[in-house]
Amino acid sequence: MQTHMFKRPALAAAITLAIAAGSGYVTARHGITNVHAETAPATSARLAPATAIATPDFSTIVALSGPAVVNISVEGMVKTRNTIVSPFGQIDPNDPFSEFFRRFGPGMQAPGGDQVVRGQGSGFIVSPDGVILTNAHVVADADTVTVKLTDKREFAAKVVGVDKTSDLAVLKIDAKNLPTLPLAAPDSTRVGQWVLAIGSPFGFENSVTAGIVSAKSRSLPDEGYVPFLQTDVAINPGNSGGPLLNLKGEVVGINSQIYSRSGGYQGLSFAIPIEVANQVKDQLLATGKVTRGRIGVGIQEMNQALSESFGLKSARGALISQVEPGSPAEKAGLQPGDVILKLNGETITESNELPPKIAAMAPGSKITLQVWRKGNTRDVAVTLGAVKSEDIASADTPAGNPGRLGVAVRGLNAEEAAQLKTQGGVVVLQVAGAARRAGIQPGDVVLSVNGQPVADPAALQRLIGDADHHVALLIQRQDARLFVPVELG
């Protein structure tokens, strides 16, 4: 499994957003500085004495829910570059001193090659026939995915679909009559409620931690389509993809990220709301991809100064800072400076509430926005477009042959087919496993398998599923065509 690397900020005290990944370590995502606790407003009224509330006993929930939580192990191959080994350790070939050590020593060049990467994470069963939910980053670029149940049974899992935007993935194992977890009703979770997490932090299977919901609808950097649940439940590497449960034993979220200085838990963890996860799951199971609505505007948060400038009595709504040319917003007449106050009659208090609400709607849906423009409100009808994405389900083989070829593909459009002068073919978007080892690259166009033409992704799936252990792919790479032998897993 590949973990995306980001540079840490220079300040040692900066708080970094880290993926609670299953790889045994976490990496920095974004630095957040100047974090201050808010001062509670003074009040002259005395609060009534609090009624003592006993901490709940979670043992029954754990006993009933634990069997449906699984441990996920992944393995993949990554390419490593040639490195220069010196008395000071490895030196990047692009480093100015690498040439010095290569020519004059004391140093030598170590060849690059394939390196095995392993990782672990968590997941939970949502269907008795083996449908499992987890995080996309847990299974990203994995050649093999293994699911282990609490009764010690292990299954090779097929990656049905991956949605990197929401960090969700759907797996399938060949089993029946499995225990499942019920899903909570949408928007049923309240701030202050008790919740608990079950997962495999650092590989310790079925570990349980508990806390409360600290906040809802949190917007995180580069995560605009997910209104995260914030909790103080202890989440660590390996918890990713595991369930967040309420006191009824219902899944309210999927543990995904943490804020941390050290890479370990420090009191702030974030979960994907189960209603978001359920929508993604249904689309991945039905079509292998996720579509999201869009209106094509850039928005920013309102503050007191802006609200006074625009003549609003309160700092609420989403301020449109730009309108994309040719977008649904432009066609509907929206303008920079408009403030979106309501979506289909529902008040928009914070700007970060708008993107996930729009994204949750199907492209082609008709919506009504109430906007504030030049001192007056008006209703604007908009027909939603679709968020452009080429993130496609990565499993290209039938269940039982997970990751056999290891490519994610899409069909050629008319312009591409005309340019290549071909009647069929599929373009490779992502490469892993057998295809990567054979040298297949993103951008290659697969034209045939063992001489049989590939008309579309379904044809490729069928031909690979029927093949023996070796196939010859005819691919087009830029202006050249060549046969590539592939040894299937």
- Range scoring the smallest mean pLDDT among 33-47, 51-65, 341-355: 33-47
Average pLDDT, the chain: 79
439 pLDDT higher than 50: yes
Is 163 catalytic? The answer is no
- Cα 144 to Cα 116: distance, rounded to the nearest angstrom: 11
CA angle 392, 398, 401 (to 5 degrees): 105
Residue in 137, 141, 260, 444 annotated catalytic: 137
Which of 13-22, 218-227, 303-312, 408-417 holds the top average pLDDT? Answer: 303-312
Dihedral of the alpha carbons of 161, 163, 169, 173, in degrees to the nearest 10? 0
Domains of the chain (ranges plus CATH)? 1-33+58-287 (2.40.10.120), 293-386 (2.30.42.10), 407-487 (2.30.42.10)
Confidence of residue 45 (pLDDT cuts 50, 70, 90): very low
CA angle 409, 415, 418 (to 5 degrees): 100
- Cα 22 to Cα 121: distance, rounded to the nearest angstrom: 4
Please report the pLDDT score of residue 175 as a whole number: 94
Query: In the chain, pLDDT over 70 holds for what percent of residues?
Result: 78
384 pLDDT higher than 90: yes
Please report the pLDDT score of residue 400 as a whole number: 31
- Range scoring the smallest mean pLDDT among 20-34, 59-73, 253-267, 325-339: 20-34
Mean pLDDT of 480-486: 82
Is 240 catalytic? The answer is yes
Residue in 141, 163, 167, 396 annotated catalytic: 167
Mean pLDDT of 369-387: 93
Confidence of residue 266 (pLDDT cuts 50, 70, 90): confident
Is 167 catalytic? The answer is yes
342 pLDDT higher than 60: yes
CB 402 within 8 A of CB 376: no
Residue in 98, 166, 240, 269 annotated catalytic: 240
Pairing of strands 366-373, 339-343: antiparallel
8 pLDDT higher than 50: no
**Residue 180 exposed, middle or buried by CB count within 10 Å (0-12, 13-18, 19+):** middle
Q: Is the pTM of this model over 0.85?
A: no
**Residue 333's CB: how many other CB atoms inside 10 A?**
14
Pairing of strands 131-134, 168-172: antiparallel
116 pLDDT higher than 80: no
12 pLDDT higher than 70: no
CB 145 within 8 A of CB 156: yes
Q: What are the residues facing 343 on neighbouring strands?
A: 346, 369
Q: Largest alpha-carbon pair distance within the chain?
A: 83
Mean pLDDT of 259-278: 86
